[in-house]
């Protein structure tokens, strides 16, 4: 008969500091003559605070203050650690003693088999003649894919570290290399100082190289990663620093390089952060710097061709908003000069909304914008390369919305703005004062039909607006690129900035159809056009907004329960020829993740686009099974009928190894950068990655 009793004497190693009692279950419990010995035998199980121990027999000798445990012994802890042994001799608290023929399984990943394990002070486990692996080992034997044989391994349970003495790394039983001493984190540790997985990086331009990242834990809230990158053509040190504060965080990355590409040293530096200053104030900053135009792209640090460093302070509340920012731009394009972008831009905005007792919303706005060019004007009468501008604007608007008894939604607003421009280094346009008054109204009539399979919403809309400008002419610098889309079809102004203003009488017609399917099939289609009394010369020829009647806007979205989503926009002229188009599609299924896009833009010197743009991009990942996966990415220029970038990534993994191989080809060129092919190879041993598991089922064993 099985007996259940309290056994205060047994305290497991995982709960060495606890004082609570354990529960013992056994077929029989006997106390031989003399009363100094207790013997529990037959299917012995001990339960204590989430930990379970099972053995064939447990003997407690009070005189020797010793526990003798006969196996097979099995101990599972609440943290996933598993002990097995053939026999053990331990003190009653299991803090000190010896386990024979023992095995430890850490976090259900890493197995350490040893002839003997010594328990010391309830913290250390010393293993002798050890074989460590995270590969599945079948009961009928066999050689694991990889293993580490060591004379001794010390497991520090408090620091969660493994120390190896005289370690030999083996692949399929074949010795590969010998390490006298090494330290590795156990898989339960999420952050630990140490060497991360190396990566082999062969490239056309930089030769065959290797990256050896070293992670340094500086505390619970900050860390530093140093990555030496050595190849036949470069010596580079990369660094990444992160720190979290109580009210914010920062991230810094950069690199310094000496290579064969240039005679001078090369470097880049990126930093960003966000902080809560209190009283709803948020501070954001980012810094971007590179020593030369090709460094980021050549070393695959970033694809950006314009760098922007900015510091901003903002506060957004229910009825008011403030944002101030200072930005510095630096161009990496061959066709641009940073000095004339302009590189320095300062911007401050404030907005306040009131709700009068008679209804509606009263809004007050003010903004200050200034940009500075580092160059100065030349002696020619038409030179504007050094133009510097500061603009101060104030405005007010009143808005009233209502819904009639027949379901007609009416929105109306009126207001005015005053802008003062201070201009320097411009021989053509000087200081100016401009006032703008406007009035607008929008009517929408949504109609709904509900069915068993879907709900349909049809919404025609009409927008009318009038505005007039008085004062001096203003040079348009912040609205040269304007997009015509669903968001600004019914807007007061379709310019992207403040320098250009739509004037005169104008209107817009739109029709939106929305289908909400009961099974998750949702779609939206919008068509519209803008009409105006007079042409506006500030709209480019290819914007779709030139003339007294704009091109037709067709925009649609669709999403399905199977994971497909697509968004497309077309601009059609009067002959229904496509003047602009953009399509994005994505698919997320059980095995396939796909993202693709296509864009077509005509040449337009007004928008600094000297040639047509027609380009495909695709990014796909496919998981064949739990072991194999592959991914491709490509960017294809239809105009030149050639790719600009391609890439292939192949991954293989099982329960103990993760292998990633990648190859990418960059076809773009510049004055100093030539096309190149980059390869990458990384091999990761599961079980030693801090806090990471493959989550791959173990391979099956065959008889």
pLDDT, tens only, 99-129: 888 888 887 788 899 999 888 887 888 999 9
- What is the fold, at CATH topology level, of the domain defined by 3-187? lipopolysaccharide transport protein A fold (2.60.450)
| Token pair in block for residue 596 | 């693709």
| Token pair in block for residue 39 | 């013997």
Give ∠ CA 408-409-410 in degrees, rounded to 5: 110
Is residue 376 over pLDDT 70? no
3-state SS class at 6: strand
Range in 64-73, 133-142, 690-699 with the lowest mean pLDDT:
690-699
Is residue 258 over pLDDT 80? yes
Residue with tokens 């603009």, as numbered in its chain:
391
Mean pLDDT of 380-392: 74
pTM for this entry: 0.81
Is residue 19 over pLDDT 70? no
Mean pLDDT of 602-612: 84
* Per-residue pLDDT band at 140 (split at 50, 70, 90): low
Evaluate whether 259 touches 206 at the Cβ level (below 8 Å): yes
* Per-residue pLDDT band at 16 (split at 50, 70, 90): very low
Mean pLDDT of 335-340: 80
- Using CA of residue 314, residue 315, residue 316, residue 320, what is the dihedral sign? negative
| Token pair in block for residue 644 | 């600009």
341 forms bridges with which residues in the sheet?
none
Tell me the per-residue pLDDT of 445-473, one tens digit each, with 9 for 90 and over.
Answer: 999 999 888 999 999 999 999 999 999 88
Range in 193-197, 427-431, 575-579, 668-672 with the lowest mean pLDDT:
668-672
Residue 373's contacts (CB-CB under 8 Å, 6 or more residues apart) are: 339, 340, 341, 342, 343, 344, 385, 386, 387, 388, 425
pLDDT of residue 570: 95
pLDDT exceeding 90 applies to what percent of the chain? 53
Question: What is the C-alpha separation between 317 and 214, in angstroms, rounded?
Answer: 43
Is residue 2 over pLDDT 60? no
Question: What is the C-alpha separation between 599 and 579, in angstroms, rounded?
Answer: 11
688 forms bridges with which residues in the sheet?
none
pLDDT of residue 93: 66
Q: What are phi and psi of 679, to 5 degrees?
A: -115, 155
pLDDT of residue 538: 86
pLDDT of residue 94: 62
Is residue 346 over pLDDT 50? yes
Average pLDDT of every residue of the chain = 87
Give ∠ CA 460-491-471 in degrees, rounded to 5: 145
Among residues 254, 256, 111, 120, the alpha carbon closest in space to that of 186 is found at 111
Name the residue with higher pLDDT: 303 or 253: 253
CA atoms within 13 A on the CB side of 337: 7
Name the residue with higher pLDDT: 447 or 540: 447
Is residue 389 over pLDDT 70? yes
pLDDT of residue 106: 84
Is residue 241 over pLDDT 70? yes
pLDDT of residue 11: 36
Question: What is the C-alpha separation between 527 and 207, in angstroms, rounded?
Answer: 54
Is residue 8 over pLDDT 50? no
* Buried residues in 85-119 as b, exposed as e (16+ CB within 10 A): bebbbbebbbbebebebbbbbbbbbbbbbbeebbb
Domain ranges across the chain: 3-187
Mean pLDDT of 580-594: 92
Question: What is the C-alpha separation between 230 and 211, in angstroms, rounded?
Answer: 7
Name the residue with higher pLDDT: 631 or 30: 631
Tell me the per-residue pLDDT of 614-667, one tens digit each, with 9 for 90 and over.
Answer: 999 999 999 999 899 999 999 999 988 888 889 999 999 988 888 999 999 888
Residue 142's contacts (CB-CB under 8 Å, 6 or more residues apart) are: none
* Per-residue pLDDT band at 693 (split at 50, 70, 90): low
pLDDT of residue 378: 55
3-class DSSP string for 444-511: ECCEEEECCCEEEEEEEEEEEEEEEEEECCCCCCCCCCCCCCHHHCCCCCCCCCCCCCCCEEEEEEEE
pLDDT of residue 51: 76
pLDDT exceeding 70 applies to what percent of the chain? 92
Among residues 411, 434, 435, the alpha carbon closest in space to that of 423 is found at 434
3-state SS class at 662: strand
Is residue 4 over pLDDT 80? no
Name the residue with higher pLDDT: 62 or 371: 371
Q: Which helix (H) or strand (E) holds 296?
A: helix 295-298
Evaluate whether 227 touches 238 at the Cβ level (below 8 Å): yes
Among residues 287, 355, 283, 361, the alpha carbon closest in space to that of 322 is found at 283
Mean pLDDT of 483-492: 92
* Per-residue pLDDT band at 185 (split at 50, 70, 90): confident
Among residues 518, 598, 525, 522, the alpha carbon closest in space to that of 558 is found at 522
Give ∠ CA 450-453-458 in degrees, rounded to 5: 40
Integer CA distances (angstroms), 241 to 221, 253, 312, 533, in order: 11, 6, 22, 58
Question: What is the C-alpha separation between 195 and 87, in angstroms, rounded?
Answer: 36
Tell me the per-residue pLDDT of 425-446, one tens digit each, with 9 for 90 and over.
Answer: 887 778 999 999 999 999 999 9
Name the residue with higher pLDDT: 96 or 674: 96
Among residues 419, 386, 502, 406, the alpha carbon closest in space to that of 447 is found at 406
Mean pLDDT of 302-312: 93
Among residues 459, 454, 455, 420, the alpha carbon closest in space to that of 436 is found at 420
Range in 233-247, 366-380, 484-498, 631-645 with the lowest mean pLDDT:
366-380
């Amino acid at each position: 008969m099985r007996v259940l009793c309290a056994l205060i004497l047994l305290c497991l190693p995982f709960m060495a500091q606890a004082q609570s009692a354990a529960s013992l279950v056994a077929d029989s419990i006997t106390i031989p003559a003399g009363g100094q010995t207790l013997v529990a035998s037959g299917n012995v199980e001990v339960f204590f605070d989430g930990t379970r121990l099972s053995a064939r027999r447990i003997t407690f000798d009070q005189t020797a203050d010793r526990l003798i445990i006969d196996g097979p012994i099995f101990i599972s802890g609440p943290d996933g650690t598993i002990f097995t042994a053939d026999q053990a001799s331990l003190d009653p608290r299991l803090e000190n003693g010896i386990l024979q023929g023992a095995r430890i399984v850490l976090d259900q990943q890493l197995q350490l088999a040893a002839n003997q394990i010594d328990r010391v002070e309830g913290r250390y486990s010393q293993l002798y003649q050890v074989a460590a692996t995270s590969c599945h080992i079948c009961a009928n034997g066999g050689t694991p894919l990889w293993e580490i044989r060591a004379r001794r391994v010390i497991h520090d349970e408090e620091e969660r570290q493994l120390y190896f003495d005289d370690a030999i790394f083996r692949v399929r039983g074949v010795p590969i290399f010998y390490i006298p001493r090494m330290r590795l984190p156990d898989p339960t540790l999420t952050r630990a100082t140490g060497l991360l997985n190396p990566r082999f990086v062969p490239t056309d331009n930089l030769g065959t190289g290797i990256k050896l990242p070293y992670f340094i834990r500086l505390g619970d809230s900050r860390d530093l990663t140093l990555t030496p990158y050595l190849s036949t053509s470069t010596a580079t040190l990369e660094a990444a620093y992160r720190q979290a504060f109580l009210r914010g965080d920062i991230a810094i990355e950069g690199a310094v390089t000496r290579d064969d590409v240039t005679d001078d040293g090369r470097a880049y530096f990126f930093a960003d952060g966000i902080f809560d200053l209190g009283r709803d104030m948020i501070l954001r900053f980012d810094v971007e710097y590179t020593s030369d135009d090709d460094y980021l792209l050549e070393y695959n640090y970033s694809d950006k061709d314009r760098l922007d460093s900015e510091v901003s302070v903002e506060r957004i509340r229910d009825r008011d908003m403030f944002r101030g920012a200072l930005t510095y731009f630096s161009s990496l394009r061959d066709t641009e000069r940073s000095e004339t972008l302009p590189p320095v831009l300062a911007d401050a905005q404030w907005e306040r909304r009131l709700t009068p007792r008679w209804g509606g919303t009263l809004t007050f706005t003010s903004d200050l914008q200034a940009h500075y060019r580092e160059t100065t004007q030349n002696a020619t009468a038409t030179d504007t390369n050094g133009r510097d501008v500061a603009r101060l604007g104030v405005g007010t608007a009143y808005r009233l919305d209502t819904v009639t008894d027949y379901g007609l939604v009416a929105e109306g607003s009126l207001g005015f703005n005053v802008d003062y421009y201070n201009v320097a280094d411009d021989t053509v346009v000087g200081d100016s004062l401009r006032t703008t008054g406007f009035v607008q109204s929008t009517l929408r009539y949504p109609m709904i039909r509900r069915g068993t399979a879907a709900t349909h919403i049809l919404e025609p809309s009409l927008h009318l607006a009038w505005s007039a400008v008085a004062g001096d002419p203003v040079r348009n610098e912040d609205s040269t690129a304007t997009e015509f889309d669903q968001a600004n079809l019914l807007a007061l102004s379709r310019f992207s900035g403040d320098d250009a203003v739509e004037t005169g009488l104008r209107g817009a017609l739109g029709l939106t159809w929305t289908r909400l399917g009961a099974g998750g099939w949702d779609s939206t289609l919008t068509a519209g056009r803008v009409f105006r009394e007079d042409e506006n010369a500030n709209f480019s020829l290819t914007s779709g907004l030139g003339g007294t009647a704009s091109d037709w806007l067709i925009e649609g979205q669709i999403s399905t329960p199977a994971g497909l989503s697509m968004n497309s926009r077309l601009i059609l002229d009067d002959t229904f020829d496509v003047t602009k188009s953009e399509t994005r599609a994505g698919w997320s299924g059980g095995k396939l993740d796909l993202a693709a896009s296509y864009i077509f833009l005509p040449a337009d010197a007004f928008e600094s686009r000297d040639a047509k743009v027609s380009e495909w991009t695709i990014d796909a990942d496919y998981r064949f099974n739990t072991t194999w996966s592959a991914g491709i990415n490509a960017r294809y220029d239809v105009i030149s009928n050639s790719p600009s970038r391609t890439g292939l990534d192949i991954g293989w993994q099982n329960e103990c190894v993760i292998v990633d191989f990648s190859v990418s080809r960059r076809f773009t060129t510049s004055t100093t950068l030539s096309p190149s092919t980059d390869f990458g190879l990384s091999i990761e041993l599961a079980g030693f990655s801090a806090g990471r598991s493959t989550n791959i089922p173990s391979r099956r064993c065959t008889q």
